[in-house]
Structure 1
Amino acid sequence: MTSLRKILFISLAFIFALSGAEPSRAQSGKAVQAPVEPGAWQTDLYLPALKGKRVGMIVNQTSTLGKRHLVDSLSSMGVSITTIFSPEHGFRGQASAGEKVASSRDPQTGISIVSLYGKNYKPTSAQLDSLDVLVFDIQDVGTRFYTYISTLHYVMEACAEVGKPLIVLDRPNPNGHYVDGPVLDPKFKSFVGMHPIPVVHGLTIGELARMINGENWLGGGKVTQLTVIPVRNYTHQTPYTLPIPPSPNLPNQQSILLYPSLCLFEGTVVSVGRGTDKQFQVIGSPNPKNGPYQFTPVDKAGAINPPQEGKLCYGLDLSGIDAYKLGFSLKYIIDFYQKAPDKNKYFLGTNFLDKLYGSDQLRLQLEAGVPESKIRQSWQPALTAYKTMRKKYLLYP
């Protein structure tokens, strides 16, 4: 038996049977789209696998069943949850980006919380030893550098090493309607980019888990015993607004749609609005040439010591543009670089831009004055190959 046959995939026929219900029709005769139901809502598909088992949950504030947290819901159904694992920003999603989170105990349930963004990013064998099955349910936003998918990778790797099954409760991708950007060069692998996928990968977290398994990205022939519980009434073209902010600095749909383009600025001196009430919707620095919009970042909950703290920044307010139509764009980072008074100080000395972009090519191309059209051409061959590979792992049309 090959390793791939060991993967506990739900068949596509079963997936489409779940999601292919006929839409109801209003009196006007127009089709009415049935509401999107995340995998967590399909309790009949995974509850039997949890009853009588010691369960570990990889969850945060987005892990809800209706309006109630999934941990509370499953506990009330008799599921024995013994450990909660939390990603970046913590179990309640309140920690700042990059802020280390200590392990603790949930005051509401008394369940032990193990941080996967503190002493270790990957669950240890000792932490998994007392568990029978793990459940992953975290809302992603569809970009390579959003670290919840890095946590998914390490959880899959840990489960594969000790033979623990993993159930992924799938959720819609708010940026899942397109695929774009450079594919990561493995030489630039980091916690903000672990897989050779483009910036906007066009996968739900369940589809990505299938890809990680199928492409042997866990290494050493390791394969996770994976089950994906699908989203019902969903396609990659289904508009979906997240009901809960996925992290402190993505407060609304506009910020989530702009995030693929604006996150690259985090490798530069330009502020993306951390420390304001328009996070990832405004961009600026103390350079007046950037644009007419003015803002001053301040230290606040969820944005400790934000870039350009206390400094008057000039730039652009993008909160009113059509971010859905914009897609993944480099025009802003190119424009701000061209206007920078000291280009030698535009990029952070940590080369964080290279990690976010997945290679050093953007930095070198900006320095060489390469236009966006040519930059886009440079990533097309790898992007085309990725799109072909991606088709093998899609669960939704």
Structure 2
Amino acid sequence: MVSYSLLKNTFLFSFILIAACGNSISGQKTKTESPKEEKQVNGENTTAKDLPIAHIKTGAENYTAYLPLLKGKKVGIVTNQTGILHFTLQKSGTNIGESDMSIVDFLVDQKVNLKTIFAPEHGFRGTADAGEHVKDGKDKQTGLPIVSLYGNNKKPKPEQLQGIDIMLFDLQDVGARFYTYISSLHYVMEACAENNIQVIVLDRPNPNGSIIDGPVLEKENTSFVGMHPIPVLHGMTIGEYAKMINGEKWLKDGIQCRLIVIPCLNYNRDMEYHLPVKPSPNLPNDQAINLYPSLCFFEGTNVSVGRGTNKQFQVYGSPYLPKKGFSFTPAPNEGAKDPLYNSKTCYGEDLSNIKHVNQLELKWLIDAYKKTEDKSKFFIPFFTKLAGTKKLQEQIEAGKSETEIRESWTKGLSDFKQTRKKYLIYTE
């Protein structure tokens, strides 16, 4: 066990990391030996499928596996508000509450020599709009410099990596190809490989579990919202995905980085996983995260996905759909300073209370296209980047059914699943 004393207001608490989910709860013993290589670290996999959700322990909370690796090293970290560890608060030996602690604060408390924080899209605190330029800065709490990995600086520059021995990566992914945290992972791994810096990924569960679905990206449509030949839903944790990037030699010139993945414990991908914090401003809850892969296609059309409302990625609509039934009016809010159709009434559908989906759903996209007044203005060029192929738009415009479109994905999905098997850490 690791313990700390932190003074908050006028109370002195002892914070004991029991792994939200610690092995001490499940009756198992935690391995204390530090991993020597990737194979050994990844060997700490999962337990029985019927373990309660509360027993899942994230890579960040599997601290005995990575703290020894950081001893005497100069460390950089790629993280944001999702990089947290869960604690039980104790006073005089009695549990008095629960709390979360930033991975950055945890490492500072453990006397790790942190040099720089690297922040992805949305910034270190995770409040910036999608696509918004995030400036470099300094963390007020720790005084550490923050380097933005978005905009014109998606890949860390050699001078920004100078003096760093190890790069930690701790971001919560949502399992979708166009969610840009895996693109940031690619560029970080590439930069570290070029500068001989080891990368340690602190793994976290995929809230969309083992869903593998959608068209596979074609190389000519590569962009920051789709960098690799994978389907929209890849069914991997970010640690497994890092292994795939490395193993498939997707980095520039086929270079590979020195990679270690610190696994989650007591986890398999059949388990439900509820994120403790929003992974980004417009994914406020489990429903939004589950619908995001399906509704994000609307970002390449003239249809709003509810940015500027309190039901982001749980509704869709536009002024050009039939003016009846459900409606909403976008207005500026956190994560959407100037939302699509600001102050205009949008008509569409409310999906906030439907059952969770277990595949990539096309029915809403197809239905909206059919009902839109001027179909020539429905799609915008960004749609092809999101889809990873021109075929999907062509199929919808040609009136293909969802079944026919899904059948065209069969071979690509089958080939991907075979490749994916090589990099899995957790049981199916």
Whether these two folds match at TM > 0.5 is yes
Q: CA deviation at 1:290?
A: 6.9
Please state how far the C-alpha of 1:299 moved relative to its aligned partner: 1.5
Query: Secondary structure of the residue that 2:277 maps to in structure 1?
Result: coil
1:364 aligns with 2:391: no
Deviation at 1:362, TM superposition (A): 1.0
CA gap 1:92/1:8 in 2 versus in 1, 3 angstroms: same
Q: 1:223 to 1:125 in 2, by over 3 A?
A: same
Matched, 1:60 2:80: yes
Does residue 1:102 correspond to 2:135, yes or no? yes
* Contact 2:53–2:272 (8 Å) recurs in 1: no
- Matched residue type, 1:174: P
Equivalent position SS for 2:168 = strand
Q: Does structure 2 retain, via aligned residues, the 8 Å contact 1:97–1:302?
A: yes
Provide, for residues 361-392 of structure 1, a one-character-per-residue CA deviation record: whole Å limited to 9, x for no partner.
11111111111111111111111000111000
Task: Look up the match of 1:9.
Answer: 38
Contact kept? 1:140, 1:148, Cα under 8 Å? yes
Tell me the residue number matched to 2:365: 333
Matched, 1:47 2:67: yes
Tell me if 1:38 matches 2:55.
no
CA distance change for structure 1 residues 135 and 364 in 2, over 3 Å: closer, same or farther?
same
Q: Quote the residue 2:375 is aligned against.
A: 343
TM-score by structure 2 length? 0.86
Q: Distance in 2 between matches of 1:161 and 1:322?
A: 45
Distance in 1, Cα, partners of 2:53 & 2:353: 27
Which segments of 5 or more consecutive residues in structure 1 lack a partner in the other structure?
1-6, 24-30
2:47 alignment partner, one of 20, 24, 41: 20
| Cα deviation, residue 287, structure 1 | 2.7
The one-character-per-residue Cα deviations of 1:21-75 (angstroms, maximum 9, x if unpaired) are: 797xxxxxxx756611100001110001112211101000000011000100110
- How far did residue 11 of structure 1 move? 4.0
Report SS of the residue matched to 2:257: coil
Report the counterpart of residue 200 of structure 1 in structure 2.
233
My pick for the range that moved more, 140-149 or 220-229, is: 220-229
Deviation, structure 1 residue 12: 7.9
Higher helix share: 1
Runs of 4+ in 1 over 2 A off after TM superposition: 7-16, 19-23, 31-34
* Counterpart mapping for 1:248-263 below 5 A: 248-263=281-296
* Paired amino acid for 1:38: T
Whether the aligned pair in 1 keeps the contact of 2:49 and 2:270 (CA below 8 Å) is no
Q: Percent identity?
A: 54
Matched positions, count? 379
Pairing 1:255-274 to 2, within 5 Å after superposition: 255-274=288-307
**Cα drift, residue 300 of structure 1:** 1.8
| Match of residue 10 from structure 2 | none
* Structure 1 contact 290–316 (Cα < 8 Å) conserved: no
Aligned residue number for residue 406 of structure 2: 376
How many Å separate the matches in 2 of 1:80 and 1:49? 12
TM-score by length of 1: 0.93
Match of 2:30 in 1: none
Aligned to 1:3: none
1:300-339 maps to which residues of 2 (within 5 A)? 300-325=333-358, 327-339=359-371
13 and 263 in structure 1: CA distance in 2 versus 1, 3 angstrom threshold = closer
Matched residue type, 2:214: G
SS for the counterpart of 2:409 is helix
Q: Provide the secondary structure at the position in 1 that maps to 2:182.
A: helix
CA–CA separation in structure 2 for the residues paired with 1:385 and 1:252: 32
After TM superposition, the structure 1 = structure 2 runs for residues 123-138 of structure 1, keeping only pairs within 5 Å, are 123-138=156-171
Residue 276 of structure 2: aligned partner: 243
- How far apart, in 2, do the equivalents of 1:344 and 1:367 lie? 10
Deviations 1:298-336 (A, max 9, x none): 1222102111111100010000001234x3100000000
